[in-house]
Structure 1
């Protein structure tokens, strides 16, 4: 049969009616072979999820069996995390392969490509289900931890209120005596200076040190040096040197804290990037496994032969 008949549509007329070289029965068979069988897909999802659950339980049991609380010869936390991640990826690939094979076989389609697509759709639904379950579990854990922390804080506050009510004015008087003793010790350590004066000078110095105006910074240094010279009874030159030393120590500490924060942020970014790449690779491998499993699960066409006389 000519596959390209000489018709107006074959000559480029798109408005002409479509002519097919196959019969309506063959068209119907083609449609049936390529239809989506959602029942087979959900069967593959169920098998894939239970397979991954079983494999993860086996991995958890093997990981816990390697730990011995009585000795110090145990795997490191980093080693356990890496092993758990590798096992999770492998279990996902095996589960995708099993779910894809079931979806391809239960679809009953004799074409391997159709079986592969059923396996791929089964993998997609299963991945969405796993992501939803993981996100729900994480949200539940975080919510439970915050609820417990809130309850504990409320209990401590109620207990503190009860103790304060029971203590009465006597406890308040004891607290005033303790505060007075602490202030007296601070005054002795600072040469008898007024605490308000010291606090005001410290606030002005901090405000000036964080200012972008050089004149404001110099004025804050001079004010801090004057207060130090008065309270410690030292010459102004020595007080300025002490203030400069304190400023250098503060700047060094701030630089160190900034470096630590930058390193921590860089480490967190690298860890997140690595986790995202590993997750993407594992999903791609799972999709390939599901496609291959679906193709292998495609059924062979059943042929009925007639007995000839």
Structure 2
């Protein structure tokens, strides 16, 4: 009489040769468990964060952001550990290396599933918002058209845009042209003439010289000063405009550098988080490896 004795939690070497190295049902179960654990821990963290963000407690936004990031990383690590351990344990992985590989597959599938889930949710929200906006604008346009049709006769309502265009044309015909002589200009005409010449002045080139002469003549005539004094005023104003333009360009470059630096730091932090998650998944799969013993046969 013979019997094979095997301790609980062990895998016989004779069975390991016939066992497939990849168990997709176990991987699917591990992914489901990892997503569920991460969702549960995320809800717990949201409850804690909302409790700390009570207005009466005057919370610090930076502290809450850092705490949220730490909680998200910790919950991801715990979820991947649990999912990878369960998958490797259910698959009955006979070697530690295969357990690590199962954990990495759990990490990859969970990452792709989470990314798809977030993308689908965001896409659904944005699509719903644009759809609602389109329906609202369509309804508003229909309501406005009905109101105009109710107040005006059909012929008058259809002729309204033409009447408006004719009114604008009549306004342009009645508007007095800007005098070319700076001495004959009103204050409003002088401001208009300088405003029309400033783009050519700032653009440089051949048009800048003509714009400079035009602005100088207007300033001299309106301020009752000499051409030299008007030229000095224009030079001072041009220096201020140049300084403002340079300052705006420097501010824009500084803001762009800050955005690029922040995006770079966020990318490195995200990569570090993904690497930590992969290590946690590999550790969970390695921990689930059962103790391998040789099958022993007792003869009695």
Q: TM-score, normalised by structure 1?
A: 0.72
Cα pair distance change 1:194/1:61, threshold 3 Å: closer
Query: What's 2:201 paired with?
Result: 208
Query: What's 1:40 paired with?
Result: 26
SS at match of 2:291: coil
Moved more, 50-59 or 221-230: 221-230
In 2, Cα distance between the equivalents of 1:191 and 1:221?
A: 17
* TM-aligned CA deviation for residue 125 of structure 1: 0.5
Instruction: Indicate if the aligned counterparts of 1:225 and 1:243 stay in contact, CA closer than 8 A.
Output: yes
Query: What's 1:295 paired with?
Result: 286
Query: What's 2:262 paired with?
Result: 271
Instruction: Indicate if the aligned counterparts of 1:52 and 1:91 stay in contact, CA closer than 8 A.
Output: yes
In 1, Cα distance between the equivalents of 2:86 and 2:27?
A: 8
Query: What's 2:46 paired with?
Result: 60
Instruction: Indicate if the aligned counterparts of 1:205 and 1:223 stay in contact, CA closer than 8 A.
Output: no
In 1, Cα distance between the equivalents of 2:139 and 2:229?
A: 52
* TM-aligned CA deviation for residue 55 of structure 1: 1.0
In 2, Cα distance between the equivalents of 1:125 and 1:209?
A: 58
In 2, Cα distance between the equivalents of 1:116 and 1:229?
A: 84
* TM-aligned CA deviation for residue 66 of structure 1: 0.6
* TM-aligned CA deviation for residue 87 of structure 1: 1.5
Query: What's 2:109 paired with?
Result: 125
* TM-aligned CA deviation for residue 194 of structure 1: 6.3
Q: Are 1:192 and 2:186 matched, yes or no?
A: yes
* TM-aligned CA deviation for residue 232 of structure 1: 4.3
Instruction: Indicate if the aligned counterparts of 2:16 and 2:94 stay in contact, CA closer than 8 A.
Output: no
Q: Are 1:239 and 2:223 matched, yes or no?
A: no
Cα pair distance change 1:32/1:287, threshold 3 Å: farther
Gap regions ≥5 residues in structure 2: 1-12, 177-183
Cα pair distance change 1:305/1:32, threshold 3 Å: closer
Structure 2 residue corresponding to 1:110, chosen from 90, 94, 97: 94
* TM-aligned CA deviation for residue 305 of structure 1: 5.2
User: Greater share of strand residues, 1 or 2?
Assistant: 2
- Number of aligned pairs? 268
Structure 1 residue corresponding to 2:122, chosen from 132, 138, 154: 138
Q: TM-score, normalised by structure 2?
A: 0.73
* TM-aligned CA deviation for residue 142 of structure 1: 4.2
Kindly report the root-mean-square deviation, in angstroms, between the aligned alpha carbons of the 2 structures.
3.8
In 2, Cα distance between the equivalents of 1:146 and 1:239?
A: 55
In 2, Cα distance between the equivalents of 1:255 and 1:54?
A: 52
Q: Deviations over 1:110-153 (max 9, x none)?
A: 21211111111111110111122223333344445555666667
SS at match of 1:51: helix
In 2, Cα distance between the equivalents of 1:141 and 1:75?
A: 29
Cα pair distance change 1:234/1:143, threshold 3 Å: farther
